[in-house]
Chain A
Amino acid sequence: AQSVSQHNHHVILSEAASLELGCNYSYGGTVNLFWYVQYPGQHLQLLLKYFSGDPLVKGIKGFEAEFIKSKFSFNLRKPSVQWSDTAEYFCAVRKGNTPLVFGKGTRLSVIA
Chain B
Amino acid sequence: GAVVSQHPSRVICKSGTSVKIECRSLDFQATTMFWYRQFPKKSLMLMATSNEGSKATYEQGVEKDKFLINHASLTLSTLTVTSAHPEDSSFYICSASQGAGRGQPQHFGDGTRLSIL
Say if the beta carbon of B46 comes within 8 Å of chain A: yes
Give bound CA distance, A79 to B30, whole Å: 37
Residue B108, interface by CB 8 Å? yes
Q: Please, how many residues of chain A have a CB less than 8 angstroms from a CB on the other chain? A: 22
Report the nearest B residue to A98, measured CB to CB. Answer: B100
Binding site of B, secondary structure by majority: helix, strand, loop or mixed? loop
A107 (CB) vs chain B CBs: closest residue = B41
Interface flag for A9 (CB, 8 Å): yes
In the complex with contacts A9-B41, A103-B43, A44-B102 CB distance below 8 A: no
| Residues in A78-112 with C-beta less than 8 Å from chain B | 90, 94, 96-97, 99-105
Q: Are B102 and A32 in contact (CB under 8 A)?
A: yes
Q: A43-B4, A43-B109, A104-B41 are in contact. Are A99 and B46 (CB under 8 A)?
A: yes
Hey, which bits of chain A sit against chain B, CB under 8 A? 4, 9, 32, 36, 42-46, 49, 51, 90, 94, 96-97, 99-105
